[in-house]
Amino acid sequence: MSERKTITPTHRYRNNDKLVGIGNAFWDTSYDNGVAGVVGDLKDGVFRMADGHEFVNFTVCSYLDLDTHPKVIDGAVESLRRFGMLDHCIPRTRVQTPVVLELEESLGELFGAMVINAVSTAAASTGLLPLIASGHLGNGTRPLMVFDKNAHVSMGNAKPNCADETEVVTSRHHDLEFLEDMCRTYERVCYVVDGSDSLGGYAPVVELAELQEKYNLLVFYDDSHSLSAYGERGIGYVRTHSPVLDERTITVATLTKGFGAGGTAILLDGYSQETRRLIERFAGPLGYSQKMNAAAVGAAMASAEIHRTEELTQLQGRLRANIALFDSLVATEQAESTFPIRVVPMTDETVVEAAKQVFAAGFYTSPVFFPIVARGTAGLRVMLRAGQTEDQIRRLAAALVKAGARPGAAAQAAPAGSVAE
């Protein structure tokens, strides 16, 4: 009997050996120290565990706390009662109720764009990016697909499928010089990047717009972390700052984070209804029978109405105030940004123990390590929200400093112990 063949992976677009081999050790340590796999009941903004331990979660993406807003909860329930079902499980290209169509009309008016809803941003990116790679979503030219090195995994996982349609490369984070060089070299280029990063910061939207005007660059943004939290009526960072809102800019953004509901919005400008039908038919998961259910749609409809009121402006103001307070107490690279995420620097050796100390003090901050962040840049991820109290932020800051964080300017100038008062 001949010897069986073994397979040597190419690792052109993914390396699970490295991903699991290094990252799993950190995850195991996090579990062993009680700062991963945490279970508790949430009431009045406080988690209570079975052993009686109470904590405030400072690593949650609901930046405006709309996921617990009574109107959003009522919207989900009322939608279920109105349509009498959770989900009519069939592709919308075959048969559908008006539930998703009503949401798309509402969001289209809110954001000033053609909106197509999807069950998640991962589904949206998985479906859209290969269509861009083949030239079917664009001007017909197969573009060079340039993925930002820090592009979220929900976009990065589409690399192999895109590579079956065109050439795929990975650039350094926000490397505009490299991107312009590719634009000079290739007839068409598509840049895939987060409009708002999951670890803090925004894309250079204005500079990218200059490349769009000069070279017809197509930019695919995931702006999930800034939707609702940023801009008039919560339109997000990209749509607030980009002067190029036409077929050269495609944005996906979850309705689960700041929006407080569920599902995802695909925001399109300058595309025809024929393109919309093409997306619904051929964009992978968008053509399956998995779509936003009636409860998620009802919650999103209610949230959209809040976005049209002064209440949204007030919530954004509270969020900015909480961000400024935290920055005055704890030093991070993201300080003085309007972005609601902060990464408090730690080492690979200290990050889990620091998270454990902070958790014991009554606050959950997630330890981030490779492959979540680059090797050697571990830290505690803190997400600020509108509903957090000044007392909670001050006590969290004191716990972080005690665990090894560098104090902010206000904390350095204050008498010893005053941060926690």
The 10s digit of each residue's pLDDT in 253-300 is: 999 999 999 999 999 999 999 999 999 999 999 888 788 899 999 999
Q: What is the pLDDT of residue 9?
A: 87
Mention the CATH class of domain 70-307.
Answer: alpha beta
Q: Which of 142, 107, 96, 416 is nearest to 286 (CA)?
A: 96
Q: What is the pLDDT of residue 412?
A: 64
Q: What is the pLDDT of residue 421?
A: 40
| 75, 103 Cβ separation under 8 angstroms | no
Q: What is the pLDDT of residue 48?
A: 96
Peptide bond into 371 cis (omega under 30): yes
Q: How far apart, in Å, are the Cα atoms of 394 and each of 188, 245, 401?
A: 50, 40, 11
Residue stretches of the chain with pLDDT short of 70: 1, 411-421
Q: Which residues contact 35 (CB under 8 A, 6 or more apart)?
A: 352, 355, 356, 359, 364, 366, 367
- Starting at the edge strand found earlier in the chain, the sheet holding 366-368 runs 341-345, 379-383, 366-368
Q: What is the pLDDT of residue 414?
A: 57
Distance CA 230, CA 312 (A): 10
CATH topology for 16-39+312-414 is Aspartate Aminotransferase, domain 1 (3.90.1150)
Q: What is the pLDDT of residue 336?
A: 87
What's the token pair of residue 165? 């349609």
What's the predicted TM-score (pTM) here?
0.92
CA 114 to chain CA centroid, Å, is: 21
Phi-psi region of 200 (alpha: psi -120 to 50; beta: other; left: phi over 0): left
Domain boundaries, the chain: 16-39+312-414, 70-307
Distance CA 395, CA 399 (A): 6
| 302, 72 Cβ separation under 8 angstroms | yes
